[in-house]
Amino acid sequence: MPIEIRELVVKATVRDRASEGQSGSRDRRAEKEEIVRECVAQVLEILKRKNER
């Protein structure tokens, strides 16, 4: 069964790489994990609404 996504919201934060220092790679990894968690939550919510119909 295909899933149709009608709305996609993308949020981004732009930073200067020179000011990140050593902790930058850890911060990016945490940001990526947060993005993945948010995407999974939204997809699960869409599936839940679709199954309720």
Please report the pLDDT score of residue 5 as a whole number. Answer: 80
Q: How far apart are CA 8 and CA 39, in angstroms?
A: 10
Identity (one letter) of the amino acid at 35? I
Please write the tens of the pLDDT for every residue from 2-42. Answer: 888 888 888 888 877 665 555 567 788 889 999 999 999 99
Residue 6 tokens, joined = 């009608």
Q: How far apart are CA 53 and CA 45, in angstroms?
A: 13
